[in-house]
Structure formats: C-alpha cells, structure tokens
C-alpha cells in the first residue's frame, strides 16, 4: 500500500512544493487548505493519487472532518505536515490586536489541533511521523515579527515535548527551521531582518528537507530541530554557545532598518 502524507496549507508556496515532491515519490497526498479552490486545482494537476479539501486549521472540527475523509480515501495516515501559517510584520503596537490573535490561532492552535486529531490515526499506521514548520524566528525573538516569532517558539516547544512524549507510540515529531523563503508570505514584509539578511531559500529547499526527514531512519540520535540554509544553521549554532547579551545585540543589529 502506498504511504500517505497530509499537508495543511498545501495550496501554494512551501506546502505545494512538499505536495509535488511527495506525489512524485509515489505517496498518496492530501492537499488541504482554507483556499479549497486552489487546493483542488493543484490536486487536479498532480493526478489521481492526490486528494484536496478545505481546512481552516484554527477549527478543531475542520481537522476532524478533513483527516477522517483523508484516511478513508488513503487507507492510513503516515505523515502529517503542519505547514499552514501566516505572518504579520511591522511595529508591534501598530499591528491590530486581532492580527496578533489570528497569528496564534493559525500558527499555534493549528498545530495543536492537527497533532491532537491525527494521533489516533498515526498510532494505527505502519509508519508515522509529524513534521512541523517552525522557523529561524524561533531561535531568538524577532523585532517587528513579535507574534509570528512567538508562534514559532510555541511550535518549537510543541515539537520538543511531543517528540519525547510520543516515543511510546513510535512516532517521531520533528520540525524544520528555515529562514525567509521566497513565498507570498514575505512579500512587502516590514522587518529589518529580511532587509539585512535577504531571502535565499526556495520552497523546494524546505520540501527536500521534509522528504529527507520522513525517509530517514529516525534513530534516537536524530535531532528534533532542523535549521535549513547556511545562514540559519550558523545562527542556530551561535545561539547555543553565545552569551545571551551577544544574542540580543546581534539580533538588534540584524533588525535595524
């Protein structure tokens, strides 16, 4: 039986790149997004082993409907990719509070909802893995990206905790931590870090890393966090050995406009 992957926020950008790669590698692919029309269009492009549907990740009932529907179609759930996310940039106080709340609803509650609903299906599968989309913004809190950065710290914590807690079920829970990626999310972004660091990564870079993680043996020595790109890897490693004051100063410099 074909292995299956369910991807949230899969209609465009990183999610779509993941969907295309796994489809090419012989997976049954679930393309679920709040933009169902775009999701259906991508599924039609890929072929009969792709299934699309609507999913508002902030709604627990949407997850229940989507995953039940997908598992009936695919036979089992092997891989869940919590990819859906949003980003608001700019000064914290100039960003409407509803935007901060929406970031948490989608980026954090969406991951909690997905993991919670998926567990019964993953426990029954022959092979099971969860890959969460974290970010380099979870290395140190980012100016002008406050709620986004906080949401990705939450994803980092969820990943670490569940990767330990769900060992008893044989489920690895891992994350990828890219820097800025060439997607619609970073277009016209108002943050000094993107101006100073630039946008070097493409959606395919993240898709390739997700595929490698899913297909690795996943031993106890497999790390939980996976920075993507040279700049992110350097930032991640330096953050583990630098005094807190240096981490703060370096991030102040990077955030200057």
Residues annotated as catalytic (active site), given as ranges: 148
Query: Do residues 190 and 200 lie in contact, with contact meaning Cβ atoms separated by under 8 Å?
Result: no
Q: Tokens in use for 86? A: 């949003």
CA dihedral 91, 93, 95, 97 (to 10 degrees): 150
- Closest among 77, 153, 79, 87 to 121, alpha carbons compared: 77
Which single residue is written with the structure tokens 């016209």?
188
CA-based R_g, the chain, Å: 18
Assess contact for 67 and 112: CB atoms under 8 A: no
Alpha-carbon distances, residue 21 vs 56, 180, 217 (angstroms)? 23, 20, 19
Measure the CA–CA gap between 208 and 206, rounded to whole angstroms. 5
Cβ count within 10 A of residue 119: 18
């Amino acid at each position: 039986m074909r292995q299956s992957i369910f991807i949230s926020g899969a209609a465009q950008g990183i999610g779509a790149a993941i969907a295309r790669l796994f489809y090419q590698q012989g997976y049954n692919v679930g393309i679920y997004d709040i933009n169902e029309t775009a999701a259906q269009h991508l599924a039609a492009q890929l072929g009969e082993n792709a299934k699309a549907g609507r999913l508002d990740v902030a709604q627990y009932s949407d997850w229940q409907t989507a995953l039940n529907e997908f598992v009936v179609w695919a036979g089992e759930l092997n891989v869940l990719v919590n990819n859906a996310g949003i980003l608001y940039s700019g000064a914290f106080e100039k960003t409407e509070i509803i935007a901060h709340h929406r970031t948490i609803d989608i980026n954090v509650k969406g991951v909690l909802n997905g993991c919670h609903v998926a567990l019964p299906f993953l426990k029954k599968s022959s092979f099971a893995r969860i890959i969460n989309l974290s970010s380099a913004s979870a290395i140190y809190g980012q100016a002008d990206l406050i709620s986004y950065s906080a949401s990705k710290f939450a994803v980092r914590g969820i990943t670490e905790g569940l990767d330990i807690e769900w060992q008893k079920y044989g489920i690895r829970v891992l994350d990828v931590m890219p820097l800025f990626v060439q997607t619609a999310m970073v277009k016209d972004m108002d943050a000094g870090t993107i101006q100073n660091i630039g946008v070097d990564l493409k959606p395919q870079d993240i898709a390739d890393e997700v595929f490698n993680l899913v297909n690795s043996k996943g031993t106890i020595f497999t790390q939980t966090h996976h920075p993507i790109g040279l700049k992110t890897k350097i930032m991640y490693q330096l953050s583990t050995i630098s005094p807190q004051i240096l981490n703060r100063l370096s991030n102040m410099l990077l955030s200057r406009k």
